[in-house]
Amino acid sequence: MIYKSFRINCIVRISLIIANLYLFFYLLFETKFLATTAIIGVLPVFQIFLLFNYISKTNRFLSKAFESIKYDNFSEQINTPLKDASFTELCEQLNRIVEKFQMSRMEKEQQFQYLKAIINQAGMGMISVRENGEINLINKAARLILKTPPINHISQIETLNPKFSNLLIKMKTEEKSNFEYKDKTRSVQLAVYASNIKSEGEKFKLFTFQNIQKELEEKEMDAWKKLIRVLSHEIMNSITPISSLAATANLLITKGRKMSDSDADDLAQALNTIEKRSKGLMQFVQNYRSFARIPDPNFQILPIKDLFKRINSLSQTQLKHQKIQFTVSIKPENLQVKVDPDLIEQVLLNLMSNAIEAVKETKSPEITLSAQMTDASKVKIEIIDNGCGIEKTVLPKIFIPFFSTKSEGSGVGLSLSRQIMRLHGGGIHVDSNPGVNTVSSLVF
């Protein structure tokens, strides 16, 4: 309607200009009315000026209206200087569009404030950083953990804690890290996670971190309780008979009469038992020392094939003695891993020993040693046996130091293996289906 009205207006004006030009040339060549001809000759010029002025006003009005929408300038309503009724209608429609834009902007602003409030109330610290290092978001929890006022660049964290700033700069996408954040008054343990986000074509790096000091202290206390309980149990098991037998021996010696053959036998037996229990207690202490003193790994690039050959060679006597079918699988054959050969050899021998023990009563014992790449591009080594397995109630306890299901076991092997795997930045996992199989996995 508006376009149609504008077009008609322009057509009428152009038609009048053409008519006036026709009249001008007619008077000029066909009559001698010079004064009239001069007046008529001026009219087309004036009409052309009015036409251009009309189009310019229209363009300026439309340009101003769309510029207001473009730059979100909704402080004033759009009004037209043109008297044409069709443009009044256009203004009304543009103002309705502006109202919708205003409503949309208000809703977005409300959503932003709501989201901002949630982020600020979150207990997890959050810092969003642009590619140039500019911080566009830092929530309340992050400021409280770092003890900093609002900051606008990641480099400003360096003045608070250079090591933490260096960690954030070097962290890759989807990387996790633990960091001990220290300042003048305290030290807290942080779990830090880095991720990438994209908004309106712009890339941001989002760092989230949480104070896990309390959780770590609770875990540490729980670990100490378990350790003390195990130590108390083992020491009491050894000290109680030693104390009792020492009292018996002392009584036999201090009777004040000649010792009979029977008493001499009892004394010899008591001293023999004391010796055995003392050796057992010394062995327990030695096991504890080996668990507590693991050397730092000496990392080397080692072909899995060479590692498996050494394990096969060291386990061959036991495998042949129990007639165990032993299978080795490596995919790909040239698979390599960065480890300390001696420490990882110790871990694999512990797991092999457990597997050999598990298949002792199995009719057709089988053990498989395999290595492969996971979907996450990590090296995974598995030892699978078809032995008696581990009961579901016992499985969660197998990594507790000094816990053992075997009468002759020290309870150190698996807990020591987990410590070694942690030093390698990997993990150990045991899954068992009693009576079917047990799978021990090492992931690097």
Q: Write b or e for each residue in 196-225: b if 16 or more Cβ atoms lie within 10 A of its Cβ, otherwise e.
A: eeeeeeeebbebbbbbeeeeeeeeeeeeee
Q: Are residues 87 and 67 in the same domain?
A: yes
Q: Are residues 332 and 431 in the same domain?
A: yes
Domain membership flag for residue 109? no
Domain membership flag for residue 111? no
Q: With contact defined as beta carbons under 8 Å apart, do 358 and 432 qualify?
A: no
Q: With contact defined as beta carbons under 8 Å apart, do 335 and 303 qualify?
A: yes
Domain membership flag for residue 288? yes
What is the SS3 assignment for 365? coil
Domain-ending residue, one of 164, 182, 211:
211
Domain membership flag for residue 175? yes
By C-alpha distance, which of 156, 157, 217 is closest to 181?
157
Domain membership flag for residue 71? yes
Domain membership flag for residue 143? yes
Residue 239 in this model has a pLDDT that exceeds 70: no
Backbone angles phi, psi at 381, to 5 degrees: -110, 130
Residue 86 in this model has a pLDDT that exceeds 60: no
399 vs 387: CA distance, rounded Å = 19
Domain membership flag for residue 169? yes
384 vs 413: CA distance, rounded Å = 17
Q: Are residues 317 and 433 in the same domain?
A: yes
2: confidence class by pLDDT, cuts 50, 70, 90: very low
Higher pLDDT, 3 or 364: 364
Q: Are residues 345 and 420 in the same domain?
A: yes
| pTM: predicted TM-score of the whole model, two decimal places | 0.45
What average pLDDT does this structure show over 184-205?
80
Residue 384 CA, chain-centre distance (Å), reads 30
pLDDT for 1: 45
Higher pLDDT, 374 or 413: 374
Q: Are residues 307 and 415 in the same domain?
A: yes
Backbone angles phi, psi at 436, to 5 degrees: -115, -70
Residue 336 in this model has a pLDDT that exceeds 80: yes
What average pLDDT does this structure show over 24-42?
78
By C-alpha distance, which of 311, 381, 382 is closest to 342?
311
Q: Are residues 281 and 395 in the same domain?
A: no
Domain membership flag for residue 228? yes
What average pLDDT does this structure show over 320-324?
86
Q: Are residues 220 and 206 in the same domain?
A: no
44-56 per-position pLDDT tens digit:
788 788 777 767 7
The CA–CA distances, whole Å, from 195 to 126, 204, 297 equal 11, 9, 30
Q: How confident is the prediction for the chain on average, in pLDDT? A: 76
Both tokens assigned to 348: 């694999």
409 vs 407: CA distance, rounded Å = 6
pLDDT for 382: 92
Question: Total domain count for the chain?
Answer: 4
Lowest mean pLDDT among 226-235, 284-293, 412-421: 284-293
Rg of the chain's alpha carbons, rounded to an integer? 44
95's CB contacts (< 8 A; 6+ apart) are 77, 78
Q: Are residues 237 and 157 in the same domain?
A: no
Q: Are residues 410 and 349 in the same domain?
A: yes
Q: Are residues 430 and 325 in the same domain?
A: yes
pLDDT for 139: 85
Q: Are residues 232 and 322 in the same domain?
A: no
Which residues span the domain enclosing 270?
216-292
121-159 per-position pLDDT tens digit:
777 888 888 888 888 888 888 888 888 877 888 888 877
Tell me the CATH number at 337. 3.30.565.10
249-306 per-position pLDDT tens digit:
666 666 555 666 666 676 677 677 666 666 666 666 665 565 556 677 888 898 999 8
Domain-ending residue, one of 292, 325, 355:
292
Lowest mean pLDDT among 92-106, 196-210, 325-339: 92-106
Q: Are residues 207 and 78 in the same domain?
A: no
What average pLDDT does this structure show over 57-81?
63
Both tokens assigned to 244: 């009792």
Tell me the CATH number at 192. 3.30.450.20
Domain-ending residue, one of 259, 292, 325:
292
Backbone angles phi, psi at 171, to 5 degrees: -65, 135
85: confidence class by pLDDT, cuts 50, 70, 90: low
